[in-house]
Amino acid sequence: MTGLRERKKQRTRDSLIRVSHELFVDKGYDETTVDEIADAVDVSQRTFFRYFASKEAVAFALQDEVESQFIDAVADRPADEAPLRALRSALDANWSRIGDAIQEVVPISVHMRLSQVIETTPSLLAVQMRRASETEDRLVTVLATREGLDPREDPRPRVLVALFAGVMRAAGRQWSAGDDITVESQRRAVEQCMDLMGPVLSDDWSARPSRTES
Amino acid sequence: MTGLRERKKQRTRDSLIRVSHELFVDKGYDETTVDEIADAVDVSQRTFFRYFASKEAVAFALQDEVESQFIDAVADRPADEAPLRALRSALDANWSRIGDAIQEVVPISVHMRLSQVIETTPSLLAVQMRRASETEDRLVTVLATREGLDPREDPRPRVLVALFAGVMRAAGRQWSAGDDITVESQRRAVEQCMDLMGPVLSDDWSARPSRTES
DNA sequence: AGATTAGTGTCAGCCGCTGACAATTGACAA
DNA sequence: TTGTCAATTGTCAGCGGCTGACACTAATCT
């Protein structure tokens, strides 16, 4: 059983996340002040910074969990799966479970709209991409371990992860540019871009229509 | 013939770039204050911000030119080259010309060490990656035009560029992790990673040693 | 209940960055 | 040459993000 102190802390933390995300979505990130967030949750600004190292950090608090979950899922894939296959499988397996942890803190709709805010706010986009590169590093380690390789000598894990991350980003851009802001459409965008990895590297681009038009 | 006013401006701008880069390399980015840069160039802090929108901007002033040059080179490739081939050719063609524009403002050694500083400074790394994504967008437009495609309907240009950018980043990481901080080793890293794009996507990773070991 | 410890609020201050206004300096014509 | 105009710069005040120091409050342990 957790003590009162700990529960209180968790409540404060969740409130800071929820309130800040709502403000970001409503007024925009740059237009939201840390003081406003702190006031709305009724704590001091100083306390906010004891929970989150920066204003950016609170915006990515939930993505943290999503990413960790994905990494674990990759590590748990059977060892005989090819590397790229393992990544896609982990994606598939986690797809449904992703939303649950989020919904306990923030409505999914807010979370989805926050994704858009992140893509359209330069400072947040920058942080998101740096975070992505950190996730890449963790993935490289996991994959290299699976294949029994040393990532310092063999660049293949790093290259594969870079390609994978690139595709994920391309899918993210495509999704956030459209108007169907749902988990399903997100999933569809990812799968479509994944399927194009092979064809796109070939020399012949003539008359191969994308799936959206066929 | 340019007027005195314009020449003075150019001199100030170059000085700000040179001095700031040297300070970043010597003391680190976070440890360098805008006031210090301004003082060293003997202008007011306010003037610094009239030349550069942010402290980050001055750190990427030279990369701006490099990237624009690359984009132009891609656009100038013959139309019958396959997309990926065009990217690699543009890279090759520009490789030697890159350093010249830089050396006029900052010694190459400083520029190379700054690349390392960027990779190891979280806030700068974030900005670099956002900038990379903007470059990607421009490349997508160029490639789509070359192939006569609409990037909104056909995701293939975006996916290819994402893969290309991913490989470039993987190469950059690998290079900046090593101790040979020269243009040649940078070039070698890029080419090695490029050559791995195809193999890495295949299902068979067994016993294919990387080029560094063979 | 009293001592201990964790969590919070307050205050002062640094740094990045911006608007406003006045002072300076190069450009250009009378 | 001189006077006018426009561009560039410096100064000042102020906001927002963020941090260290210290006192205060409240949960935990004995």
Give B57-70 pLDDT, tens digit per residue. Answer: 999 999 998 999 99
Which among A133, A102, A120 has a CA at the least distance from the CA of A175? A120
Question: Which nucleotide is closest, CA of A45 to its C1'?
Answer: C9
Q: Which residues contact A27 (CB under 8 A, 6 or more apart)?
A: none
Q: CA-CA distance, A118 to A176, in Å (whole number)?
A: 10
CA distance B102 to chain A (A): 25
From the Cβ of A53, is strand D under 7 Å away? yes
B112 and B181 Cβ atoms separated by less than 8 Å: yes
The one-letter amino acid code at B110 reads V
**CATH architecture group of domain B60-200:** Orthogonal Bundle (1.10)
From the Cβ of B22, is strand C under 7 Å away? no
**pLDDT, position B210:** 47
Q: CATH code for A4-55?
A: 1.10.10.60
- Residue B196 reports pLDDT greater than 70: yes
**pLDDT, position B4:** 82
| Residue corresponding to tokens 């929970």 | A51
Is some CB atom of chain B closer than 8 A to the CB atom of A80? no
- Residue A213 reports pLDDT greater than 50: no
- Residue A195 reports pLDDT greater than 70: yes
Give the ranges where chain A is alpha helix by DSSP (H): 4-27, 34-41, 45-51, 55-59, 61-75, 83-95, 98-103, 108-120, 122-147, 156-177, 183-195, 197-201
Q: CA-CA distance, B214 to B212, in Å (whole number)?
A: 6
| A160 contacts in chain B (CB < 8 Å) | 200-201
| Cα-to-chain-centroid distance, residue B59 | 11
CB contact (8 A) between residue B170 and residue A153:
no
**pLDDT, position A214:** 35
Residues 55-94 of chain B: which lie with beta carbon within 7 Å of strand C? Answer: 55-56
The one-letter amino acid code at A129 reads M
**pLDDT, position B212:** 46
| Residue among B160, B164, B196 whose CB faces A156 most closely | B196
CA distance A24 to chain B (A): 20
Is some CB atom of chain A closer than 8 A to the CB atom of B141? no
Q: What's the CA B115/C1' D18 distance, rounded, in angstroms? A: 27
A113 and A181 Cβ atoms separated by less than 8 Å: yes
CA distance B4 to chain A (A): 36
**Strand C nucleotides within a 7 Å radius of protein CB atoms:** 6-11, 15-20, 26-28
Mean of all residue pLDDT scores within chain B: 91
| A122 contacts in chain B (CB < 8 Å) | 130
Mean of all residue pLDDT scores within chain A: 91
**Strand D nucleotides within a 7 Å radius of protein CB atoms:** 7-12, 16-21, 27-29
Q: What residue has its CA nearest to the C1' of C19?
A: B46
Q: What's the CA B33/C1' C16 distance, rounded, in angstroms? A: 9
Q: CA-CA distance, A20 to A33, in Å (whole number)?
A: 9
A50-93 pLDDT tens trace: 999 999 999 999 999 899 999 999 999 998 999 999 999 999 88
CB contact (8 A) between residue A126 and residue B122:
no
From the Cβ of B210, is strand C under 7 Å away? no
CA distance B105 to chain A (A): 27
Fold of A60-201: Tetracycline Repressor; domain 2 (1.10.357)
Domain edges within chain A: 4-55, 60-201
A76 C-beta neighbours (distance < 10 Å), count: 12
**pLDDT, position B214:** 36
CB contact (8 A) between residue B125 and residue A147:
no
Q: Which two tokens stand for residue B137?
A: 């967008």
**pLDDT, position A199:** 85
CA distance B1 to chain A (A): 39
- Confidence class for position A99, pLDDT limits 50, 70, 90: confident
A160 and B200 Cβ atoms separated by less than 8 Å: yes
CB contact (8 A) between residue B156 and residue A83:
no
- Confidence class for position A23, pLDDT limits 50, 70, 90: very high
- Confidence class for position B120, pLDDT limits 50, 70, 90: very high
Q: Which two tokens stand for residue B9?
A: 């401006």
Is some CB atom of chain A closer than 8 A to the CB atom of B199? yes
From the Cβ of A34, is strand D under 7 Å away? yes
Give the ranges where chain B is alpha helix by DSSP (H): 4-27, 34-41, 45-51, 55-59, 61-75, 83-103, 108-120, 122-147, 156-177, 183-201
Radius of gyration of the CA atoms of chain B, in A: 19
Fold of B4-54: Arc Repressor Mutant, subunit A (1.10.10)
Taking residues A177-203, what's their average pLDDT? 88
Q: Taking each helix axis as running N to C, give the angle between helix A156-177 and helix A122-147, from 0 to 180 degrees, rounded to the nearest 10.
A: 140
